[in-house]
Amino acid sequence: MHASAPSRLLTPDSNPHIAAPDLSAVRILVVGDVMLDRYWFGEVSRISPEAPVPIVRVEKREERLGGAANVARNVASLGAHVGLLGVVGADEAGEQVAQLLAESSIHSYLQRDSAISTIIKLRVIGRQQQLLRIDFEDAPTDTVLRDKLTAFNSKLGQYDVIILSDYNKGSLVNVADMIRSARAAGKVVMVDPKGDDFSPYAGASILTPNKSELKRIVGSWNSEQQLADKAQALRVELGLDALLLTRSEEGMSLYSAHEILHMHAAAREVYDVSGAGDTVIATMAAMLGAGMSMADALITANRAGGIVVGKLGTATVTRAELFGAGL
């Protein structure tokens, strides 16, 4: 039975001698919902006379890659070769995404959709705290999505690992076809899932839901054993090699047919959790692509997540931070 898999507890120091792998030959294709993250930083010194809200006097603006593009940015930061396939609008924000991809050495396969606007998440930051987030988003058109699936199939042979980053914005309606094609081609397929139905992700190598995402599918649990039973049942039902549950301050748990690996959280100081899941899946994919064992890849990905939550906004981790002295 699936529930009988032995359980093993890992800590950030379980294997302190993990060698830094050569990632230069690892080729990862990221596919999914591409976004532009905009940050407006300012001072807050008074409350508006019009409504009980703070007035933010904007002093600095930043733009970063978001969504699937942030996953690709994390892969590039580690030194692996990465391509990004996604949809943006034929607009200024789409141009900005393309420019940021070029600056991050990410190979762009962006599909331009003139009928939509590029997805933007605008965050207003005052006193080092997020005060407001404003989202601009449209779903891609059917024609562009068909073109994207054709592009995916044409690029598949050039990559070792496929990451499907689903933010439920409409770019991955063909995800089941992509998984079938990639698995038939012998690729490792990692999926960051969303929504109330995980059946389109059937056949993937590894699924990486967080706690709230998993609860929407399997319901709540009252014990580790009950969680293990539900996670393993879902893994078997979907035909996954493994299910990686990210559990914020509780760390991570990886469920496979052979064993269950529990990983303590490695965060030294939590500053901002946005984008941490992107860092975890990117690091895990890069390490597995380089031939690292599942356990060592999990330890390394956990370490990366612990580093990135100590940074503001959607951030990345470098190879030096992961494998340098003292880490």
The catalytic residues are 278
Instruction: Give burial (CB, 10 Å; 0-12/13-18/19+) of 312.
Output: middle
87 CB contacts (<8 Å, ≥6 apart)?
Answer: 34, 110, 111, 112, 113, 116, 140, 144, 145, 148, 171
Q: What is the DSSP letter of 88?
A: E
Write out the DSSP string of 250-291: G-EEEEESS-EEEE----SS-S--TTHHHHHHHHHHHHHHTT
Distance CA 235, CA 36 (A): 33
**Residue 166 token pair:** 């689903």
Q: How many beta carbons lie within 10 A of that of residue 326, not counting itself?
A: 3
Q: How many beta carbons lie within 10 A of that of residue 311, not counting itself?
A: 16
Distances (CA, A) of 263 to 7, 10, 137: 11, 5, 35
Q: Quick one: which H or E segment has residue 299? A: helix 294-308
Axis-axis angle for helices 175-184, 142-155 (nearest 10): 10
